[in-house]
Amino acid sequence: MRWSKKGLLLPAPVPTSWAVSHAALPVVEGEIDEMRRLLFSARDARGRSHIGAVSIDLEQGRAGPPDDEPLLGPGELGAFDDSGVTSSCMVLDASGHRFLYYTGWSLGVTVPFYLFAGLAVSEDGGRSYRRASRAPILPRSDVDPFLTASPWVIRGEDRWRMWYVSGSGWSERPEGPRHRYHIKYAESSDGFSWRCEGHVCIDYADDDEYAFGRPCVVHDDDLLRMWYCSRGGAYRIGYAESTDGLNWERRDAEAGIGLSPEGWDAEMQAYPLVVDHRGSRYLLYNGNGYGATGIGYATVASE
């Protein structure tokens, strides 16, 4: 699958009072119709991420005005998400309630930050969200002792399946501690309580690779496709395939997209999201600066 770049869909900073910089980690919600809602993470004047929303027209490649207020902001002082929240995944349950899986940020002392996966639920069609718990849904454990983040969830007939980022450690470097995290797997019967057994789906390719961004998993017939970003230097978009969701073959050369020679995605490509809309497949992603330049998009290239 090769992608044809179409440019920026949502430039940053987004024109709303609470968003000072960035538009990162795109999540698309809504039915397949003319307009859909795009959730994104933007930072306030204190550098804390909030989750906001804007209507988009994927066919025309344009975004409407953003909501006046964020859908979800930082948690209460001392909570796992008091330093920011970043969007990760949207799932509908059997009742049509929207499950917004997100990453909560808090600042550290011996290490720069802590990340843990959280969940917020909307029962009014996405107009408002409440936290399902004041605690993370993937807390520390023996299999995830450092951090959990960036969950991607698919709800099936008999189970909910999750692919998420898990920390495998920190290393001391001259410039300060550096994290290491890869992609693991979990299951649930209800989307709230998760069984994490430490199964690694996407691991480091070599000693230089040390971090993976939010995975995006698409079920195409009997094949599961995963897009993600990984880095040694700057993030690049990668790709993997699986028939069971547990055992994955990395095929990064087939990601179908590369850096531009100049412009908003010439230095970095991160946080890919693949979405089908009115018979077409789209790739939304971030470029330079972890979303500092906004959210761009691409379509499947014609042969």
What type of residue is 39? L
Q: What is the pLDDT of residue 107?
A: 98
Q: What is the pLDDT of residue 257?
A: 97
**Residue recorded with tokens 């000072």:** 20
Q: What is the pLDDT of residue 303?
A: 62
What type of residue is 233? G
pLDDT tens sequence across 130-179: 999 999 999 999 999 999 999 999 999 899 999 999 999 999 999 999 99
Q: What is the pLDDT of residue 88?
A: 98
| Domain assignment of residue 174, given as a range | 3-300
Q: What is the pLDDT of residue 302?
A: 76
Sign, CA dihedral 89-147-294-69, equals positive
Q: How many domains does the chain have?
A: 1
Mean pLDDT of the chain: 95
* Position 224 pLDDT exceeds 80: yes
pLDDT tens sequence across 16-40: 999 999 999 999 986 545 568 999 9
User: Please, which pLDDT band fits residue 273 given cuts at 50, 70 and 90?
Assistant: very high
Determine contact, residues 160/153, Cβ cutoff 8 Å: yes
Q: What is the CATH number of the domain that holds 48?
A: 2.115.10.20
* Mean pLDDT confidence for 44-73: 94
Q: What is the pLDDT of residue 29?
A: 85
Determine contact, residues 294/11, Cβ cutoff 8 Å: yes
**pTM, entire model:** 0.96
Q: Read out DSSP for 207-251?
A: TT--EE---EEEEETTEEEEEEEEESSS-EEEEEEESSSSS-EE-
The pLDDT > 70 percentage for the chain reads 98
pLDDT tens sequence across 65-119: 999 999 999 999 999 999 999 999 999 999 999 999 999 999 999 999 999 999 9
Output phi, psi for 273, to 5 deg. Answer: -135, 125
Q: What is the pLDDT of residue 301?
A: 86
* Mean pLDDT confidence for 225-244: 97
